[in-house]
Amino acid sequence: MIASLLIRLARVISGARPVWTKAIETDRQRIFFANHTSHLDFLVIWSALPRAMRARTRPVAGRDYWMKGPVRRHLSGKVLNAILIERSPASSSPEAKRRAAGNAIDWMAAEMGSEYSVIVFPEGTRGTGDEISPFKSGLYYLARLKPDVELVPVYLDNMNRILPKGEALPVPMLGRVVFGEPMELRRGEHKEQFLARARSALEELREGQG
Amino acid sequence: MNFPYENELRSLPLDMPLMLLLGGVLALLIVGSIVGFILSWRVKGEAGRATVANLNARLRAWWVMVIVFGIAVATGGIGSLLLFGLISFLALREFVTLAPTRAGDHQALFWSFFVLLPLQYYLIYIGWYGLFAILIPVYGFIFVAVRSVLAGDIDQFMARTSTINWALMICIYCVSHVPALLMLEIPGYQGQNAKLLFFLVLVVQLSDVLQYVWGKLLGRHRVAPVVSPNKTWEGLIGGVLSATAIGAGLWWATPFTPPQAAGMAFLICMMGFSGGLVMAAIKRDRGVKDFGTMIEGHGGILDRIDSLCFAAPIFFHVTRFFFDVSDQVVP
């Protein structure tokens, strides 16, 4: 019930119209990756998915934030069924960070199993919406662990104007959720190559909106 | 202070003329729908079919709009206030989406949507004409500029603030003049202002439809080829004259004599045409075809009310100047 309420709310606030560039079957496992500018982003993508797909699509979020307090814990655990990952504190050594990131990816792949799709934001943090930041390498490692899973670029339009970083109150402009053509990690493709290709897929959806 | 116009808000104004107006519009829609249905069987060829499909989509949307509007008018002033408040909200949303605003405008926009807009309609509700008339052009004008400048972003400052002010004037101020007609005090017409509202909306929309029809039938010479290639002199003259004639024929539902009703209808049509043209220029400027996708076959809500935006305040003030008695000053 809370989930459907959240979905309605996200739809009303963002006025988001889903745009599919290609019809997709609902039963395939996917990694949706999107640009990240607003707290609304996950909910907006989630609410744009067909109902059958939504039930098997999980967000990925930081454990430190979502385990704080009973409300967040309930939302992330029971309502959104989020995959919570450990984020290493900013002060830790590069080596420890790399190890934590590797563990997080393993954990995500294990939680996905052969059933769940996930929504990830490979920029790593919310941006201003002026441009799409370079991708973190997590998407590459996850794709390598899950070679059969389709990667779907999702461009979120106007969310940065509806609820920008640092604002608590939304302005109800009209947003759009554009689902691009699915892609996959090519055999022998280098990390940088792949991440650049994935990022340019989002750039293309952004340019193509007219 | 007493508000004699409370009658307009509370009473159910379903008198005979209003029933006739509503019935007439429904009859018109039924005829239109039958024609559309026959055309969908008769017309062959790709282009013809597309036109008929668009016509039928528009007709379906008209049914919804007429029913919503009918319910709003029939429930007295409150219904109209709520309906046009909602229209303002949706229109503002479409307008601001196309505006080049930045993060620094976020607070100003939030206040526009959730404070200025409801306040403007609340002022109509309590009948405070003095503040209603200046809320947006004076207080809103200054507020938007000050709130945005406090955010400290000077990039494109003039363009951003001007656009937001335009959005407020068009979507809130102008649109709110439709239900504001309920505030007018016209001798011998108390408790009947809902029909004035009906008259305005009917003439504006008929003028749009008839310009479209005359344009499709006879249109050759373009009025404004750069701004709006579909508008032709033939459509304009035919549409305005026929809508003016219909408006004159509806004098019995208004406080006007037949010649006055004709003059008012003509004014409404010309303002409607100007509004449509200006909004078309705004769309061209922003590089879009429609303001939105809300109403099937019509585009966004702003695409449907573009002509109403300019017609409403002018009709309101001309009517107020010549017919209203609330604050007549003897020179």
Substitution target in A173, A176, A209 with the highest count of B β-carbons within 10 Å is A173
Residue A165 structural domain: 2-207
Q: For A61-89, b where at least 16 C-beta lie within 10 A, e where not — what string?
A: bebeebeeeeeeeebbeeebebbbbebbe
pLDDT over threshold 60, residue A52:
yes
Cα distances (Å, whole numbers) of residue B194 to A116, B34, B115, B197, B255: 56, 29, 26, 5, 12
| Whole-number percent of chain B with pLDDT over 90 | 60
With beta carbons less than 8 A apart as the criterion, state whether B279 and B221 touch.
no
Which residues does chain B have within 8 Å of residue A170's beta carbon, measured at their own beta carbons?
110
Domain spans, chain B: 98-183
pLDDT digits (tens, 9 = 90+) for B180-200: 999 999 998 888 888 899 899
According to the model, what pLDDT value does residue B1 have?
37
pLDDT digits (tens, 9 = 90+) for B277-294: 999 999 999 888 888 877
The residue in chain A having the minimum alpha-carbon distance to the alpha carbon of residue B292 is A174
CATH number of domain containing A88: 3.40.1130.10
Measure A85 CA to nearest chain B CA, in Å. 30
CA atoms of B137 and B120, how far apart (whole Å): 11
Local confidence band at A1 (pLDDT 50, 70, 90 cut-offs): confident
Please tell me which of the candidates B93, B106, B293 has its beta carbon nearest to residue A167.
B106
Q: What is the pTM of this model?
A: 0.88
According to the model, what pLDDT value does residue B112 have?
96
According to the model, what pLDDT value does residue B179 have?
94
According to the model, what pLDDT value does residue B11 have?
55
State mean pLDDT over A190-210.
Answer: 87
Stretch (H or E) spanning A33: strand A30-34
According to the model, what pLDDT value does residue B331 have?
54
B3 reaches A (C-beta below 8 A): no
* Residue, of B1 and B297, whose pLDDT is higher: B297
Q: How many domains does chain A have?
A: 1
Helix, strand and coil in chain A, % to nearest 5:
40, 15, 40
